[in-house]
Amino acid sequence: MYFLVICRKITQRNFFDFALLTAKILKTTETAKPRVYLFNYLAPQLQFEDSMKTTRRSLLTSAVSTVLASPILASEVLAQTPSSKVKKGKSQKLIKPKALQNGMTIGLVYPAGWTKMEDVEQGKAYLEKIGFKVVLGANAGKQHGYLSATDKERAGEFMTAIENPAIDAIICARGGYGTMRMLEMLDYTSIRKHPKIISGYSDITALINTIYQRSGLVTFHGPGAMASFHEFTEKSFLDILTTSPEKSKLPFAPLTMPPTEGWKTLSSGKTGKAKGRLVGGNLTLLSMTTGTPLEINTKGTLLFFEDVTEEPYRIDRMITQLLLAGKLQQCAGIAIGQFTKCEAEDTAHSFTVQEVLEDRLSNLGIPIVVGLQFGHVPQKYTYPIGVQAELDANTGALTLLESAVTV
């Protein structure tokens, strides 16, 4: 099968991007070795201007003559693409950060939205109250539009916290928006050389999953530091991230996190248990990074996701995007949180979130549990990204099978 792609008045860079997209589409077809013939109007004699008298027939004849002389396989287009466009980072050996202990220093950073200084101070005071020293990042209390600072400043603040030997752990104060904009500015080799606890949720989903995939460092989908933690949240945070002389002398005992009251499995979903490495976070971020070098690798994993203030049709759209990309079909199991304030404005002409989940996910044939406690809820568990876990669709429990930190 042959494909002729004719591109009008575009730059070589954009032409190549379009060729790459075409090649990727063809690569997924069942046609044996489909060929893509690329014809660019960049050649001076073939520039297509309204003032030219070249007929469409003669133009196509010239195009076909040109491309028949130099066919390009879809695989060849992919091979010629600049690495900066498609590089997704090599899989790295798993590294676990050092556990927190009373008196250690936490660095508060602001990689996404801006935060009022009074909220900064409240978060700092709370962490000090439960036994930690706190260092504020350079962007504390700043504002740059809807961001805390420029991309360069936010990336610089984060890397400073990573490379500062006086800082033992990093908590992202809040989400909002902006993390994706700075991810290509981070030094993942340096992050791997300076392994530290990194915690956050919501927009921070993109940061913690990218760091895990590019550096191999276990990260944490846990609370930010805008104010005090709920007692439930604090206990989970400390259980997973801290150690004590007593705990350090014992082998790791599987840590089970029961579901909330009212949890469900999907009606036609598979019961039983599934094991895999935990990855995931906020559904919006998981869908937005799909198709980019930052997209999440879900093969054989336990994927968890939730969201906030998104109507059911938007949740449907994001889940459908992940399905079309083949991401959900690759999972060993799926742990779904709660969709806070996600009711439709016009309930008479909408599905509920539960109906969307049933419709889009029930036929995957893997264990799926709905209604777990993480993300945008007051009482949340801290989920470590990258550790082995087990999801039990019979009981609704998620169990960590290994420690997320080292002593």
- Supply the pLDDT for residue 251: 63
Positive or negative, the CA dihedral 169, 174, 180, 185 is: negative
Among residues 148, 199, 202, 403, which one is catalytic?
202
Residue 46 CA to its chain's centroid (Å): 44
Residues 6+ apart with CB under 8 A from 332: 274, 275, 276, 300, 301, 302, 366
Active site residue 230: no
pTM for the full predicted model: 0.77
Active site residue 306: yes
Q: How far apart are CA 303 and CA 296, in angstroms?
A: 10
Low-confidence ranges of the chain (pLDDT < 50): 1-3, 5-16, 18-20, 23, 25-87, 89
Q: How far apart are CA 220 and CA 272, in angstroms?
A: 26
Strands 169-172, 197-200: parallel, antiparallel or unpaired by DSSP? Answer: parallel
Active site residue 163: no
Among residues 221, 376, 390, 403, which one is catalytic?
376
Q: Which CATH class is domain 255-400?
A: alpha beta
Q: How far apart are CA 336 and CA 374, in angstroms?
A: 9
For the chain, the structural domain boundaries read: 2-86, 105-248, 255-400
Q: How far apart are CA 118 and CA 120, in angstroms?
A: 5
Q: How far apart are CA 103 and CA 81, in angstroms?
A: 50
Q: How far apart are CA 198 and CA 291, in angstroms?
A: 25
Count of alpha carbons within 13 angstroms of residue 210, beta-carbon side:
27
Homologous superfamily, domain 105-248: Murein tetrapeptidase LD-carboxypeptidase, N-terminal domain (3.40.50.10740)
Among residues 153, 306, 310, 311, which one is catalytic?
306
- Supply the pLDDT for residue 9: 43
Question: 90, 179, 102: which is closest to 139 by C-alpha?
Answer: 179
